[in-house]
């Protein structure tokens, strides 16, 4: 049977765009891609990229204060959100255009509309057209999720923050994951009074316990009113914002309330279940190691599969899929030892096992240090950074590395290469330090602080 396309990709985010470009541009497949919103997806349009630019924007106030300690006659002045947002919007337009031209140059046909799947080889476009494809790739990503009551009371999600007309004076952030913590720090740095509620014992569940504690302490020291073991009981819109009653007995009005309580895969209404594609409990597309669904012609990559929800992972999954199906290079995306960073202030960079995970597999040695880094200590700040290595006591391999420090994202990327290669503690030790930098502590950790 002749199909209109070799591949039809639904979703123009990191995973879908990479798959389309590699399939068409490198392997010569006839490819089409549909995107209902803006090309670039969550990462470019309402995630990693605008978030990181906001992280930069929020860091200047302290940088200018520190400059004074270094002898500069510097004054921070006021932050002009409108001016920043204008530049941010222009940058996102530029990036979206780059995504579009990348697809065009690779020979991918694009449809700026919603697409759903009507059978194993047919896609229905929102304008009524139907197109056929030998393979269909679902790369529709995810969206913020929040409890119904919060939505009804007008709570915002991370998507809305980028579009605010003005910064609020006060904000309540609900949640303790990546997004909640990052926005708490960003908004605090931009001068907003930030309160954060997390229902559990400690923020950033799933990360190394000591690193979580360190981030929480530093966030509090920088002015975030972080309350753990606290959740919203009731909230309603009132004059000047939202009135919130919480489990710790507090009642307060916040100008804005932001829920960062997780993300849901975008599978609703795509027509997948009716075809026999299996969906998981959260609505994620269930795939095998080759990103193939229960329907052999349909594949899925990225956040919609809810494996490791990170841009570079989606990109690898999309690339591996294209190489496997169109490049005669069977490739599985590698989900082992994926490094990542949480852009709190300070950042948390992490790879491999947490101490808690490693302890269960024991025996391990734990090396850790916390200290005041030179740059901020000189400026009279109490900020402390933390570096930690988890080492297998038998193989000597470094099983995990956790860094809480300014620039930890950059540091962990480099440590990740060594750890992915199987570096041992002794490999770290025989690496001569670069002096004076914070990361030199990683190669000068002499004695384990504990064993387990
Ligand atoms: P997470 O799943 O990481 O965190 C959700 C948070 O909300 C948790 O603290 C959770 O608590 C809490 N929560 C969930 N439901 C409720 C509720 N009903 N009431 C109160 N609290 C609730 O999701 P995020 O939205 O922060 O991030 C989504 C994903 O995006 C991340 O997992 C990550 O993969 C990716 N991401 C990566 C970034 C990076 O690499 N820097 C940045 C941003 C996002 P509990 O722990 O108790 O379940």
Contact of 352 with 343, CB cutoff 8 Å: no
Asked if the structure places residue 334 within a domain, the reply is: no
Collapsed DSSP state (helix, strand, coil) of residue 334: coil
119 and 13 inside one domain: yes
DSSP 286: P
- Give the span between the Cα atoms of 256 and 291, in whole angstroms: 39
Of 291, 326, 361, the position where a domain reaches its end is 326
435 is catalytic: yes
Q: What pLDDT, on a 0 to 100 scale, did the predictor assign at position 203?
A: 98
Query: Which ranges in 47-80 belong to alpha helices (H)?
Result: 48-69
Give me the CATH number covering residue 192. 3.50.50.60
256 and 270 inside one domain: no
Write b or e for each residue in 295-331: b if 16 or more Cβ atoms lie within 10 A of its Cβ, otherwise e: bebbbbbbbbbbbbbbbebbbbbbbbbbbbbbbeeeb
- Number of Cβ within a 10 Å radius of residue 188: 22
- Give the span between the Cα atoms of 225 and 216, in whole angstroms: 10
Residue whose C-alpha is closest to residue 48's, from 170, 132, 162, 172: 162
User: DSSP secondary structure string, 406-436?
Assistant: TTHHHHHHHHHHHHHTT-BHHHHHTSPPPTT
20 and 76 inside one domain: yes
Q: How remote is the CA of residue 319 from the centroid of ligand 1, in Å?
A: 26
421 and 281 inside one domain: no
- Give the span between the Cα atoms of 23 and 39, in whole angstroms: 18
- Give the span between the Cα atoms of 333 and 321, in whole angstroms: 8
The secondary structure element, H or E, covering residue 97 is: helix 81-105
Q: What pLDDT, on a 0 to 100 scale, did the predictor assign at position 354?
A: 98
205 and 255 inside one domain: yes
Q: What pLDDT, on a 0 to 100 scale, did the predictor assign at position 295?
A: 98
Q: Which of 262, 306, 307, 314 to mutate to test the pocket of ligand 1 (most atoms within 8 A of CB)?
A: 262
Q: What is the pLDDT of residues 334-382, one digit of tens each?
A: 999 999 999 999 999 999 999 999 999 889 999 999 999 999 999 999 9
16 and 137 inside one domain: yes
Structural domain boundaries enclosing 293 = 5-143+264-326
Q: How remote is the CA of residue 178 from the centroid of ligand 1, in Å?
A: 6
Q: How remote is the CA of residue 306 from the centroid of ligand 1, in Å?
A: 12
Residue ranges of the chain with per-residue pLDDT less than 70: none
Contact of 339 with 413, CB cutoff 8 Å: yes
160 and 273 inside one domain: no
23 and 122 inside one domain: yes
Q: How remote is the CA of residue 176 from the centroid of ligand 1, in Å?
A: 6
Choosing from 227, 335, 402, 435, the catalytic residue is 435
Q: What pLDDT, on a 0 to 100 scale, did the predictor assign at position 76?
A: 86
Q: Which residues contact 120 (CB under 8 A, 6 or more apart)?
A: 136, 275, 295, 296, 297, 298
- Give the span between the Cα atoms of 240 and 299, in whole angstroms: 48
123's tokens: 């896609």
Q: How remote is the CA of residue 126 from the centroid of ligand 1, in Å?
A: 32
Of 245, 261, 277, the position where a domain reaches its end is 261
153 and 209 inside one domain: yes
Asked if the structure places residue 63 within a domain, the reply is: yes
Asked if the structure places residue 25 within a domain, the reply is: yes
The number of distinct structural domains making up the chain is 3
Q: Which atom of ligand 1 is nearest to the CA of 158?
A: 25
Q: Which of 150, 177, 209, 248 to mutate to test the pocket of ligand 1 (most atoms within 8 A of CB)?
A: 177
- Give the span between the Cα atoms of 450 and 159, in whole angstroms: 42
Of 279, 294, 326, the position where a domain reaches its end is 326
Asked if the structure places residue 365 within a domain, the reply is: yes
Collapsed DSSP state (helix, strand, coil) of residue 130: strand
Residue with CA closest to ligand 1 atom 39 = 342
Asked if the structure places residue 335 within a domain, the reply is: no
Q: Which atom of ligand 1 is nearest to the CA of 205?
A: 46
- Give the span between the Cα atoms of 177 and 443, in whole angstroms: 30
135 and 160 inside one domain: no
DSSP 284: P
CB of 142 within 6 A of ligand 1: the answer is no
Asked if the structure places residue 71 within a domain, the reply is: yes
Q: Which residues contact 391 (CB under 8 A, 6 or more apart)?
A: 364, 365, 366, 367, 397, 398, 399, 424, 425, 448
Asked if the structure places residue 389 within a domain, the reply is: yes
Exposed / middle / buried, residue 18 (Cβ in 10 Å: 0-12, 13-18, 19+) = buried
E-state strands within 332-416: 340-342, 347-352, 364-371, 385-392, 398-405
End-to-end CA distance of the chain: 61
Q: Which atom of ligand 1 is nearest to the CA of 176?
A: 9
Q: What pLDDT, on a 0 to 100 scale, did the predictor assign at position 1?
A: 76
- Give the span between the Cα atoms of 160 and 182, in whole angstroms: 15
CB of 52 within 6 A of ligand 1: the answer is no
pTM (global) more than 0.75: yes
Give me the CATH number covering residue 372. 3.30.390.30
- Number of Cβ within a 10 Å radius of residue 363: 12
Residue whose C-alpha is closest to residue 408's, from 355, 309, 342: 342
Q: Which atom of ligand 1 is nearest to the CA of 231?
A: 20
Q: What pLDDT, on a 0 to 100 scale, did the predictor assign at position 362?
A: 81
15 and 37 inside one domain: yes
Q: What distance lies between CA 259 and its chain's CA centroid?
A: 16
CB of 143 within 6 A of ligand 1: the answer is no
CB of 176 within 6 A of ligand 1: the answer is yes
289 and 423 inside one domain: no
Contact of 15 with 105, CB cutoff 8 Å: no
Q: Which residues contact 81 (CB under 8 A, 6 or more apart)?
A: 164, 166, 167, 190
CB of 180 within 6 A of ligand 1: the answer is yes
Asked if the structure places residue 58 within a domain, the reply is: yes
């Amino acid at each position: 049977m002749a199909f209109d396309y070799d591949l039809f990709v639904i979703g123009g985010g990191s995973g879908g765009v990479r798959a389309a470009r590699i399939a068409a541009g490198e392997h010569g497949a006839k490819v089409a891609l549909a995107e209902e919103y803006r090309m670039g997806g969550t990462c470019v349009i309402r995630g990693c990229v605008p978030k990181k630019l906001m992280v930069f924007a929020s860091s200047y106030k302290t940088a200018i204060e520190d400059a004074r300690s270094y002898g500069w006659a510097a004054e921070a002045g006021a932050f002009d959100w409108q001016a920043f947002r204008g530049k941010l919007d222009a940058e996102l337009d530029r990036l979206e255009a780059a995504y579009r031209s990348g697809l065009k140059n690779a020979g991918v046909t694009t449809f700026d509309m919603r697409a759903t799947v009507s059978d194993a080889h047919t896609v229905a476009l929102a304008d009524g057209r139907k197109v056929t494809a030998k393979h269909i790739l679902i790369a529709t990503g995810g969206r913020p999720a929040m409890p119904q009551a919060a939505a009804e009371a007008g709570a915002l999600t991370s998507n809305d923050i980028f579009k605010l007309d003005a910064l609020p004076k006060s904000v309540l952030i609900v949640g303790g994951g990546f997004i909640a913590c990052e926005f708490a720090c960003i908004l605090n740095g931009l001068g907003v009074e930030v309160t954060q509620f997390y229902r559990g014992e400690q923020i950033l569940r799933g990360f190394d316990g000591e690193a979580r504690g360190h981030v929480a302490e530093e966030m509090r020291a920088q002015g975030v009113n972080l309350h753990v073991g606290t959740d919203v009981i009731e909230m309603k819109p009132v004059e000047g914002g939202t009135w919130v009653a919480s489990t710790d007995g507090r009642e307060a009005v916040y100008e804005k309330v932001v829920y960062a309580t997780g993300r849901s895969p975008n599978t609703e209404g795509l027509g997948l279940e009716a075809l026999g594609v299996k969906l998981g409990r959260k609505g994620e597309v269930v795939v095998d190691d080759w990103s193939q669904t229960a329907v052999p012609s349909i594949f899925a990559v990225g956040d919609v599969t809810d494996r490791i929800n990170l841009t570079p992972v989606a990109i690898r999954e999309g690339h591996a899929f294209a190489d496997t199906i169109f490049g005669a290079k069977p490739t599985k995306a590698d989900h082992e030892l994926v490094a990542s960073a949480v852009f709190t202030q300070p950042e948390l960079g992490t790879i491999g096992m947490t101490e808690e995970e490693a302890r269960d597999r024991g025996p391990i040695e734990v090396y850790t240090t916390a200290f005041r880094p030179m740059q901020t200590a000189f400026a009279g700040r109490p900020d402390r950074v933390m570096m930690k290595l988890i080492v297998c006591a038998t193989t000597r391999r470094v099983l995990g590395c956790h860094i809480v420090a300014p620039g930890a994202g950059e540091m962990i990327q480099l440590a990740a290469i060594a750890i992915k290669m199987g570096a041992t503690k002794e490999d770290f030790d025989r690496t001569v330090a670069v002096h004076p930098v914070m990361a030199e502590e990683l190669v000068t950790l002499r004695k384990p602080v504990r064993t387990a």
